Amino acid sequence: MLSIVFFAQTREIIGQGELSLPFEQAFSNLENIRTHLAQQSDKWDLALTRDKLLVAVNQEMSPWDTPVNDGDEIAFFPPVTGG
């Protein structure tokens, strides 16, 4: 199982903060997960547009071609604006 979490605008557009996704072998990297989720509806597609979207695996920001393993926590969010 993958644990997927969303923050800020991404969370607001999707309308939920987290979900569990059964792991599949086809999920070879982060980009595959993103496209899988974006296919669900226009709302998801909009929230997960790759332009400016960031992704973290197990709480570390990672490039889109990073491999995914069963049990990973994957977070999608917009560019950060703290400080």
Return residues touching another protein (CB under 8 A): 5, 7-9, 52, 56, 59-61, 75, 77-83
Residues sharing a CB contact under 8 Å with residue 9, sequence separation 6 or more, in sequence order: 47, 78
Rounded least distance, CB 65 to another protein, Å: 20
Give one DSSP letter per residue of 36-75, joined into a string.
HHHTT-HHHHHHT-STT-EEEETTEE--TT-B--TT-EEE
| CB closer to another protein out of 22 and 79 | 79
Query: Which residue, 32 or 78, has its beta carbon nearer to another protein?
Result: 78
CB of 59: closest distance to another protein in angstroms? 4
